[in-house]
Amino acid sequence: MKFKAIWQLMRLEHCFMLAIAVFLGAVIVKEFTINLLYACLSVIFLGISAFSLNDYFDLEIDIKNRRIDRPLVRKEIKPSIALIIYAISLPIGIILSYVINKICFFIALLNAILLTLYDVKLKRIKIIGNFYIAFTMAIPFIFGAAAVRNEIPPILYFLALIAFFAGVGREIMKDVIDFKGDKEERIKSFPFYFGEKRANFIASSFYTIAIVMSYIPFFFNIDRSFFHDFAYLSIVSITNALLIYVSININERKNRELSLIALFIGLIAFLVGAFI
């Protein structure tokens, strides 16, 4: 079994991005305890469980969509292995959150229930699932702060909202790209209900909201770490330039990776703003 195939099944690059968002939550509240390590590991294991279960239930659809980036489609990993990874990583993620505090345990348990429901059932109603996935991209900011401090500053809720809107845009964009295979399986996505052109417009609108919101901390004193911080401004502008390109060329399959790169650069921008 190849390491690359396991990495692709677990989507570790996504999981590490979630851990960075958790770390950022702690950076902004300026608290660093052992709970931060537990919180980062918790979201990584929960992410691994979600992606492994996702590929197990999406196998037939991924074959129709020619998702050769999926190791199950290439038959490099048996579907049963994906289920085993899910069964092992999910309880580890929950247990790690329990060690932290009750708030983190509640968030992790809720997410564990939702990710399982999503992979088993909700993904066939993607118009709902899109918002769940965006929620999983937003909540790590809150999770990281809650792990080290009881009080969560307003800027973290604001950053979580930016991540949420960008996440919805990315998920709808992916639905448009995968529409052919999803349509054959009668999966109810945004393009299923509204058509591909309107779905493109909706995805671009969510990206645009995220882009506009990302400049607000620079121009308005929501948090002094980002207010008139030109290092933050310059890096987040790179993210926004990439998202604008994705919005204009939204049907291109390469936008899966490009939008992920954009979101990663956005995380770097938030980290730079918090540190400098």
Q: What percent of the chain has pLDDT over 70?
A: 98
Tens of pLDDT, residues 136-194: 899 999 999 999 988 888 899 999 999 999 999 999 998 888 787 777 667 778 888 88
And the tokens for 270? 């938030």
Tens of pLDDT, residues 198-249: 999 999 999 999 999 999 999 999 888 889 999 999 999 999 999 999 988 8
Q: Residue 206's closest CA among 235, 249, 250, 165? A: 165
> Can you give the three-state secondary structure of the chain, one letter per residue?
CCHHHHHHHHCHHHHHHHHHHHHHHHHHHCCCCHHHHHHHHHHHHHHHHHHHHHHHHCHHHHHHCCCCCCCCCCCCCCHHHHHHHHHHHHHHHHHHHHHHCHHHHHHHHHHHHHHHHHHHCHHHCHHHHHHHHHHHHHHHHHHHHHHHCCCCCHHHHHHHHHHHHHHHHHHHHHHHHCHHHHHHCCCCCHHHHHCHHHHHHHHHHHHHHHHHHHHHHHHCCCCCCCCCCHHHHHHHHHHHHHHHHHHHCCCCCCHHHHHHHHHHHHHHHHHHHHHC
Average pLDDT value for residue range 60-65: 80
Q: Has domain 153-276 been given CATH number 1.10.10?
A: no
Residues 89 and 45: their CA atoms lie apart, in Å, by 5
pLDDT of residue 185: 67
Tens of pLDDT, residues 3-35: 888 888 999 998 999 999 999 999 888 888 999
235: Cβ contacts below 8 Å, ≥ 6 apart: 265, 268, 269, 272
pLDDT of residue 66: 78
- Cα distances (angstroms) measured from residue 19 to each of 4, 42, 200, 263: 20, 9, 30, 13
What are the start and end residues of each CATH 1.20.120 domain in the chain? 153-276
Query: Residue 52 pLDDT > 90, yes or no?
Result: yes
Per-residue pLDDT band for 1 (boundaries 50, 70, 90) equals: low
What pTM does this model have? Answer: 0.85
Residues 205 and 108: their CA atoms lie apart, in Å, by 30
154: Cβ contacts below 8 Å, ≥ 6 apart: 222, 223
The CATH homologous superfamily of the domain defined by 1-123+132-146 = UbiA prenyltransferase (1.10.357.140)
Residues 253 and 65: their CA atoms lie apart, in Å, by 11
And the tokens for 213? 């919101």
